[in-house]
Each structure stands twice: as C-alpha cells, then as structure tokens.
C-alpha cells in the first residue's frame, strides 16, 4: 500500500544556517568539557601541593588560568570543585564494593577481597593524600562534613550488611558498630602508610595482621 504525497507527514526542513551551526555547537560543548577537566586537574594539583588551607576558588581559578566568574560557571562553590576532585576516588571504591557484594562468593571471602583492596589502596600516595585533605576540610567546613557523612553512611551500611551475612547472629546495631570499626582501621592505615610513614620497616608488612584483626573482630 502506498501513501500519497499529501498524506505523508511533513518533515521539518533544516535550513542551511542550522546545519552550519552544528559543528560550532559541538565545538563549544567540547571546549566546555576541556575547561571543566582543566579546572578539576588544577584543583587536584593544588590540593596535593598546598593542602586544604590553600584550597580556595581564587587559587583554583589562578591555577586553571581563568577568571573566578568563569570558574563559578562550572563550579559555583569550593565544595563543588572539591567534590569533582575526590568523588571519582570514592566512586571507584564504591563500584568495587558493589561488584564484590553482588559476586557469587561466600561473604567472608568477599570481605577478604575488600580488605585486600584497602591494603592496596593505601599504597597509592596520591589517593590517600586526597582523602586526608578532604577529611581535614570536613573537620572545619559544614558542607564537606555533610558530604563525608553521606559517603560514610553508605559505606557503613554496605559493610554492615556483609557482616550480617557472615555472622547472622549479630543484630543490626552490632553489625553497624563493627563496620564502623573496620572503616576506622582502614582510614587509620591510610593515614599511617599513605601519609608518609610507610618508610618505617614495621609498617611494610601489615597485610596478614590486618586480616587477622578483621577475623577477630567478626568472631
């Protein structure tokens, strides 16, 4: 069956000006993404080199080679810049946690894998430093504090759920408390090893000791 020309729906014709402007729009979007990435990289270097005290919008803009107003077009507040720097580190760990939780393995084995991941991560000096700087900002900045609490709350409940699967006799409160202690141990190791004390010989072989402590905590 054929459709007459009169019955066919009319297509909106694009004029030459619209067609010519498309590459310009794509280029502007690409330029905007490059600017955004440049800001994040400048902010990351600033945080690593100058710490939380020098982490201001003015200094980030200066490092990125743009005006503050241009910076605030992409990141209105210091927290939004900081989140863009730190969030990929957190999201990578959360993604690994989700994959480990979803894997068809015994829960005790899953926890061992996560502990091994923590012990590997603390040797990444840059990642550990970024996290320490963010935590120091959270101690004095209410917005950073709320964001940090949000991340920890998610992590605590995920680990607590895993602990409950390992030991179903534990109540919810006790599982969350044990999860908090595990996270605190991981943070402490990151500070000790990733914070520069890893040069001490007695800190270089903590893996087995950490696994032993985890097993004892869950017994």
Task: With 0.75 as the threshold, say if the pTM is over it.
Answer: no
Of 1-15, 42-56, 120-134, give the range with the top mean pLDDT.
42-56
Count the helices and strands in the chain (H runs, E runs): 9, 0
103 secondary structure, DSSP code? S
pLDDT digits (tens, 9 = 90+) for 156-210: 999 999 999 999 999 999 999 999 999 998 888 877 776 556 567 777 677 888 8
- pLDDT reported for residue 175: 96
Sign of the alpha-carbon torsion through 201, 194, 189, 210:
negative
Distance CA 100, CA 181 (A): 20
Please report the sign of the dihedral spanned by the C-alpha atoms of residue 85, residue 44, residue 81, residue 179.
positive
> Each residue of 57-66: pLDDT tens digit?
999 999 999 9
Domains for the chain: give ranges and CATH numbers: 16-76 (1.10.10.60), 86-219 (1.10.357.10)
Q: Are 193 and 128 in contact (CB under 8 A)?
A: yes
Which has the closest alpha carbon to 144: 86, 64, 95?
86
Taking the CB of residue 2, how many other CB atoms lie within 10 A of it?
6
């Amino acid at each position: 069956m054929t459709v007459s020309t009169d019955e066919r729906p009319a297509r909106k014709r694009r004029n030459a000006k619209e067609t010519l402007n498309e590459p310009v729009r794509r280029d502007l979007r690409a330029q905007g993404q490059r600017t955004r990435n440049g800001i994040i990289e400048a902010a990351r270097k600033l945080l690593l080199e100058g710490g939380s005290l020098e982490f201001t919008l003015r200094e980030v803009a200066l490092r990125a080679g743009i005006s503050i107003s241009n910076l605030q077009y992409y990141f209105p507040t210091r927290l939004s810049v900081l989140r863009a720097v730190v969030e990929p580190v957190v999201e990578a760990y959360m993604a690994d946690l989700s994959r480990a939780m979803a894997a068809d393995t015994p829960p005790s084995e899953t926890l061992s894998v996560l502990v091994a991941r923590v012990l590997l991560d603390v040797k990444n000096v840059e990642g550990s430093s970024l996290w320490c700087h963010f935590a120091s900002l959270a101690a004095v900045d209410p917005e950073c504090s709320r964001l940090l609490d949000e991340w920890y709350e998610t992590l605590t409940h995920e680990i607590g759920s895993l602990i409950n699967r390992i030991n179903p006799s534990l109540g919810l409160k006790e599982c969350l408390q044990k999860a908090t202690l595990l996270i605190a141990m991981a943070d402490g190791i990151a500070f000790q090893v990733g914070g520069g004390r890893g040069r001490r010989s007695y800190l270089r072989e903590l893996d087995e000791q950490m696994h032993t402590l985890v097993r004892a905590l869950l017994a």
